[in-house]
Structure 1
Amino acid sequence: MISQANSLTQEKLLEFHEGRMTDAYLYFGSHVQEGETTFTVWVPGVEQVAVICTAPQSNLEEKIPMTLHPLDSSIWHVSVPRMMMDYRYEYEIETAQKEKIRKVDPFARASEKRPQNKSIVQGKSQYDWPQAVLVQKETSNRQHFESAMAIYELHIGTWKRAKDGQFLTYRELAEEVIPYVKKQGFTHIELMPITEHPLDESWGYQTTGYFAPTSRYGTADDLKYFVQRCSENGIGLFLDWVPGHFCVDAHALASFNGTPLYEEARPERRMNPDWGTLNFDVRKGEVISFLLSSGHYWLGEFKFDGFRMDALVNLLFVPNDPARPHNDDGVAFLRTLTASLRQHHPQAILIAEDAWHFPKVTEEIEEGGIGFHYKWNFGWMNDVQVYMKTPPSQRSRIHGNINFSIFYHYEERYISTFSHDEFVHGQGSLLNKLPGTYEEKFHQLRLLLGFWVAHPGKKLLFMGQEFGHFDEWKFQPELDWHLYDFKAHRQMALFTKDLLRVYRNEKALFELDDKQEGFLWLDADNSEQSVVSFIRRGRSPEDECIVICNFSDRPYPRFQVGVPSNGAYLQVFSTDDALYGGNSTLQKSSFLAADHAFNNQNQSIEVNLPAFTMSIWKKN
């Protein structure tokens, strides 16, 4: 690390104040080197700042006064001539109103385990990344637009617990979840926020430590081990990161100098009443530098493969305004952020949550876009779930919920998601949303996931849904793994595994996800039978797949579907296979196309289409 006393030059200070600094963690916070420990913090407009330190295994506080930086009256600094590794510390700030408040370090790289919250002095990381991992990280995401991407959304604290009921550490998690995710056929893991946060039940979205992996699950080196093991097993790893808003707890960023500093200066835009959080003031250069540096830190220090960025709605749109006008300040910040991350970490994938209809989120900045690679498809997710929750006899009336997404799909690059937000607060799990008997629920869950995989767009599924988690997600010790004792749930897990294998193997299901030539409706409007059929295409003609989805509870023994050329067609996958709890065996025989024009195709085949079934057909 650099000695801050000499490193914050006029040029670096200008970068910080103008919102151009991407490595502020090297200059701010606490650092240990060559027999000294330095502390540096940005606190403008105050009377005095001191660092309050406590040695390991001690409760005796030591108060060390700080002085203003010689070139900058908003930055306080002190150099202590001893190594203070693992000391706990916080800043005591005397505000302009003569009030003394204590704050944790915004740039702390480690924190105490909750309910304690002091910052912890860390030395320079000695983690030795294997060269093979570093090479893999530089090359793994090439051509990701044309690759399969099936993301497993994971909350560490509630996926599984240790035998004593405690949280799994990052290292323990590596030995448990990576083999499971790999076996199930997912290509990536998305970690719900692991930036430090005070409340377990916030799921990590109310951040207090933008440079500190939460101590709930271990140390920074433990997290690096987890990242390394993912890489060695060919699993990509995304971090759910929150660049727009932060926790209101008094020990952290809120009113850091006794007045709004990191938060919005405009009162009407400051607070998020739904979340109980504060919005960052992204007009302020120092705040921009703080957030840019946080993003660069997680990608550079921990080698994540990219971010899913949470709650962009209050950056793209003016907060607390029901008219939802565009937020020019937030848009400018996001463009600065994505441009900077893509310049310095070109291998990283940037995913926007973006719950509203802001245009060109995944367009290049030079073309008027925001610069993300993908955005979550909330419209598809909501429409499909409404449709599937509707009793089958009534689905014909809302058939547009199934076919509407293609009208806008090619305006952006989408990820089709079934995320954690859909399985909380009384909404039920995917399985429990579905109508009908216990057996019919499983038939329809297989159909729903089959449609999810066959529909254009990359994929994300929240943990537990792969084996038919029966209850909604609660902040309980762990998922209901005892469900594997029941045949229906074991069959569901096998189904998801085989479905994702088909997804990864069939290029037509991912290679042209964002190209209109990769999709063709055969019949989008068969509302009477509640059936849709379409063609998915890859770059090679032999990869072409015919997909038929029967959302009705009625079987159609001789269902006619158009095909693009003559020859024999073979069913390569069916959600109704008896292996998964269905009623059919995979039809191995070929169906010869007849010269009967149908669905705007010159040939057609007649197939057996069971109720609640998605099937995939290919030319033999």
Structure 2
Amino acid sequence: MIIDGGAILIKQLELLTQEKLADFHNGRMIDAYLYFGVHLDQDATVFTVWAPDVKKVTVVCSDAGELQEERFDMQMHPLDNSVWQVSIPKRMVDVRYEYEITAADGEILRKSDPYAQRGEMRPKTRSVVSENSRHVWSDSTLHQKKNIATNHYEKPMTIYELHIGTWKRNDKGEFLSYRELADELLPYIKELGFTHIEILPITEHPLDESWGYQTTGFFAPTIRYGTADDLKYLVEQCAENGIGLFLDWVPGHFCVDDHALACFNGTYLYEEARPERRTNPDWGTLNFDVQKGEVVSFILSSAHYWLSEFKFDGLRMDALVNLLFIPNRPERPHNDEGADFLRNLTTSLKQHYPDAILIAEDAWHYPDVTKDVKDGGVGFHYKWNFGWMRDTQDYMQLPPSERPDAHKKINFAMIYYYNDRFISTFSHDEFVHGRGSLLNKFPGTIEEKFHQLRLLLGFWITFPGKKLLFMGQEFGQFEEWKFQPELEWYLLKEPKHLQMATFTKELLAFYKSEKALYELDDRREGFTWLDANNHEQSVASFIRRGFLPQDECVVVCNFSDRDYAEFTVGVPAEGDYEQVFCTAHKMYGGGTEATETVCRSTDIPADEQTHSIKVELPAFAMCVWKPKRERGEAK
């Protein structure tokens, strides 16, 4: 049944002034979500959409039961014929709607609202009028958030990367809601000792298996897990528990589905104008046209929306390679247009949200991604260190007998490390499409796999850079992430996996207790190789330093399958050195007994140090040594 709606034209949209419209068209608007989309205004519902060069736009509405459909013709804004709007004299909360657009060639299109703040549950695709938020941010929450962000370069940061839909399900096998997730996840995160959570994209998307990276709703938290206020509850609970929360967000490309942004007005409106740069064959997505002011305002406003409305502690930005490098060009020339857009984005976000942390996905060889824009950089705080991750994994996948010939993969990262600020990642991309779980990447018996997993995580935690680990790897998930209903939690009933979870907890606690492992992450004085080139024995050793000399740590990693009974390590000073951590400890599943281990240095130089110690170094083990403190000495 179709009812001809009693719509009235907005005579003058009070906030969408000529000045605001100019900002929108010129790519300077950062809060377009306040002016476009649907808004409840006392006893009216106001719709506004940008749809240039079309003949007609109609809002088509229906209730949840779809028993009737109402149509409301929109009119051009009196100051701008590319903007269409209508005010309907009733509050239409929970009403489903879409725009029916008559294109210039007469084609009739049905489109969801680009600025919608709520969508239907997939496979349905319409937008939904949502009630105004009732959530009030407490002073306590805002204060906690500021504490989490303060001085983050010199603080420990361990990020748990999470896909909400497959971390855990309820007893019926259904998704946890944002609220249920908060109640289940946060005790787990606190018990393990992670400092931050990063959630894979929750912007609305049609296909579960896209993991959220093929977005259709850039202002809508996916309804799969609940409402916007439910999400705000999750954010608030993270803050109240002292846990930072990052959102994985996609600024450069969007989903090709017909109901959304693709060919929105019958032409390439949001898409890149140049056909050779428009599509991403590998991902099946479309690139934004970041030379078009209205599109820039759209993307800027999306980033501001998530930080302003939901108070996320930062954004991790995906797929920057198609902004920093010209798409579909195998020689990978720099894309100055995309880089300038990102500089504009990071500058804007830092100006308005100085406590927000901005993280770039790997950007290949693009220089100065984390340098300030005023100094010629792109303006991010951190960059994922994919080079280190892949080199390290490639090395660890080799049989021990072949590792000596590939030893440079272990030490190469320090050649470029101080060019940017890095996060050492073991991210979701590495555990899909046949790549195996972290545990299953290693050669050898199941015992040897666990030894090597502990070694790898020990190397990860002591190597410079902040840390990120994908869910499930903390207890030795056996299968790769195949978008199964949930992680293999039943494995925690098995001793080896339970020991692995205990190890991860102890490792993260050790990391947070040792200032040398994080205070000088981005400074050359925080790291010194002792022996980077011991390929014959497959050993890498180095010193980590904090601000105070007494915090110095000597780290030795044995990547071979051989025990070294008396391994010589150079140390910088005379005295007793105690082993403060070893991945081969018996309590974790190794063979080293839980007894105090102390070595007295000699004045025999080694590794370009004035003194040395001889230590027992088990196969597949990472061990850390420190100058022994006198009883009662302050740490």
Tell me the TM-score normalized by structure 1: 0.99
Q: Which runs of 5+ in 2 are unaligned?
A: 1-9, 629-635
Q: Provide closer, same or farther for how the CA distance between residues 3 and 386 of structure 1 changes in structure 2, counting only shifts above 3 A.
A: farther
Whether contact under 8 Å (1:40, 1:76) holds in the other structure is yes
8 A contact 1:188–1:236 mirrored in 2: yes
Structure 1 CA distance for aligned equivalents of residues 90 and 11 of structure 2: 13
Does residue 184 (structure 1) correspond to residue 153 (structure 2)? The answer is no
Give the equivalent residue in structure 2 for 1:309.
317
Matching residue of 1:559: 567
Instruction: Name the CA shift for 1:4/1:31 in 2 (closer, same or farther; >3 Å).
Output: farther
Supply the distance in 1 between the matched residues of 2:555 and 2:516 (Cα, whole angstroms). Answer: 11
1:587: how far off? Answer: 4.3
Which residue does the alignment assign to 1:78? 86
Is the 8 Å Cα contact of residues 94 and 129 (structure 2) preserved in structure 1? yes
What's the secondary structure of 2:486's corresponding residue? coil
Identify the residue that residue 6 of structure 2 maps to in structure 1.
none
* Contact 2:383–2:423 (8 Å) recurs in 1: yes
- 2:3 paired residue number: none
* Match in the other structure for 1:298: 306
- For residues 561-604 of structure 1, the C-alpha deviation after alignment (integer angstroms, 9 at most, x for no partner) is 01110111000000000000000024414211111111111111
How far, CA to CA, are the matches of 1:132 and 1:475 in structure 2? 37
Residue 125 of structure 1: how far off its partner (Å): 1.1
Greater shift, 53-62 or 14-23, is seen at 53-62
Alignment check: 8 A CA contact 2:148 2:243 kept? no
Alignment of 1:295-374 (within 5 A): 295-374=303-382
Does the residue aligned with 1:409 lie in a helix, a strand or coil?
helix
**Count of aligned pairs between the two proteins:** 619
Q: Secondary structure of the equivalent of 1:408?
A: helix
Q: Equivalent residue of 1:460, what SS?
A: strand
Residue correspondence of structure 1 range 527-566 to structure 2 within 5 A: 527-566=535-574
Specify the alignment match of 1:487 in structure 2.
Answer: 495
Asked if residue 245 in structure 1 is aligned to residue 256 in structure 2, the reply is no
The equivalent position to 1:474 in structure 2, one of 465, 482, 505, is: 482
> RMSD value over aligned CA atoms?
1.0
**Among 202, 205, 209, the residue aligned to 2:213:** 205
Task: Tell me what 1:593 maps to.
Answer: 601
2:560 and 2:554 mapped to 1: Cα distance? 19
Aligned partners of 1:161 and 1:168 also within 8 Å:
yes
Counterpart in 1 of 2:625?
617
Cα deviation 1:440-469 (Å, max 9, x = unaligned): 000000000000001000000000000000
Amino acid aligned to 1:324: R
* 1:379 counterpart = 2:391: no
Once residues 136 and 300 of structure 1 are traced to their aligned partners in structure 2, the CA distance between those partners, rounded to angstroms, is 16
2:486 alignment partner AA: E
Q: Distance in 2 between matches of 1:194 and 1:108?
A: 14
Aligned-pair distance for 1:4? 7.4
Distance 2:67 2:338 in 1: 43
2:591 aligned residue: 583
1:19-98 map, 5 Å? 19-98=27-106
Are the equivalent residues in 2 in contact too, given 1:571–1:586 (CA < 8 A)?
no
1:264 Cα shift? Answer: 0.5
**Residue 378 of structure 1 aligns to which amino acid in structure 2?**
F
4 and 188 in structure 1: CA distance in 2 versus 1, 3 angstrom threshold:
farther
Q: Which residue of 1 aligns with 2:5?
A: none
- 1:404 is matched by which residue type in structure 2? F
Q: Which amino acid aligns with 1:240?
A: D
The residue matched to 1:379 in structure 2 has which SS? helix
Deviation at 1:355, TM superposition (A): 3.7
- Note if 1:17 corresponds to 2:25: yes
What's the TM-score once normalised by structure 2's chain length? 0.97
Paired residues of 1:154 and 1:463 also in contact (CA < 8 A): yes
Q: Equivalent residue of 2:188, what SS?
A: helix
* Stretches of 4+ aligned residues off by more than 4 angstroms: none
Q: Does 2:408 correspond to 1:400?
A: yes
Aligned equivalents of 2:37 and 2:65: distance in 1?
22
The aligned residue for residue 215 of structure 1 is 223
1:39-63 deviations in whole A, cap 9, x for unaligned? 0000000000010011244431101
Q: How does 1:375-454 map to 2 (within 5 A)?
A: 375-454=383-462
Partner of 2:71: helix, strand, or coil?
A: strand
Alignment pair present for 1:172 and 2:196: no
> Please, which of 508, 511, 518 is the counterpart of residue 500 of structure 1?
508
Tell me, yes or no, if structure 1 residue 110 matches structure 2 residue 118. yes
Partners in 1 of 2:586 and 2:559 — Cα distance? 18
Give the superposition deviation at 1:130.
1.8
Q: Contact 1:387 / 1:402 at 8 angstroms: preserved in 2?
A: yes
How many Å apart are 1:182 and its aligned residue?
Answer: 1.1
1:6 is aligned to 2:46: no
| 1:137 Cα offset (Å) | 2.0
The letter for the 2-side match of 1:115 is P
Give the Å deviation of 1:608. 0.4
Counterpart amino acid of residue 572 in structure 2: P
The one-letter code sitting in structure 2 at the alignment partner of 1:23 is D
The Cα shift of 1:179 comes to: 0.8
Secondary structure (helix, strand or coil) at the match of 2:57 reads strand
Q: Over residues 253-303 of structure 1, what are the superposed CA-to-partner deviations in whole Å (9 max), with x where a residue is unaligned?
A: 000000100010111000000000000000000000000100000001001
CA distance in 2, matches of 1:542, 1:481: 40
**How far apart are the structure 2 equivalents of 1:279 and 1:411?**
28
Contact kept, 8 Å, 2:12 with 2:78, in 1: the verdict is no
| Aligned equivalents of 2:66, 2:404: Cα separation in 1 | 69
Cα deviation for residue 617 of structure 1 reads 0.6
Counterpart contact for 2:154–2:521, Cα < 8 Å: yes
SS of structure 2 residue aligned to 1:177: helix
SS for the counterpart of 2:175 is coil
Structure 1, unpaired ranges of 5+:
none
Paired letter, 2:575: G
CA distances 1:292-347 after superposition (whole Å, capped 9, x unpaired)? 10000000100100010000000000000111111111011100000000000000
Partners of 1:35 and 1:343 lie apart in 2 by: 36
In structure 2, how many angstroms separate the alpha carbons of the residues matched to 1:452 and 1:566?
Answer: 28
SS of structure 2 residue aligned to 1:456: coil
Q: Separation in 2 of the partners of 1:212 and 1:505?
A: 39
- The answer to whether the Cα contact below 8 Å between 1:573 and 1:586 also exists between their aligned partners in 2 is no
Deviations 1:382-422 (A, max 9, x none): 10001000000110001000011011101100000000000
What secondary structure does 1:140 align onto?
helix
AA aligned opposite 1:364: D
Contact in 2 for aligned 1:564/1:603 (Cα 8 Å): yes
Equivalents in 2 of 1:605, 1:3: separation in Å? 83
Give the secondary structure class of the aligned counterpart of 1:5: coil
The answer as to whether partners of 2:324 and 2:363 remain within 8 angstroms in 1 is: no
Q: After TM superposition, give the deviation of residue 140 of structure 1 in Å.
A: 2.0
The aligned amino acid for 2:382 is Y
Residue range with higher mean Cα deviation, 115-124 or 573-582: 115-124
Deviation at 1:138, TM superposition (A): 2.9
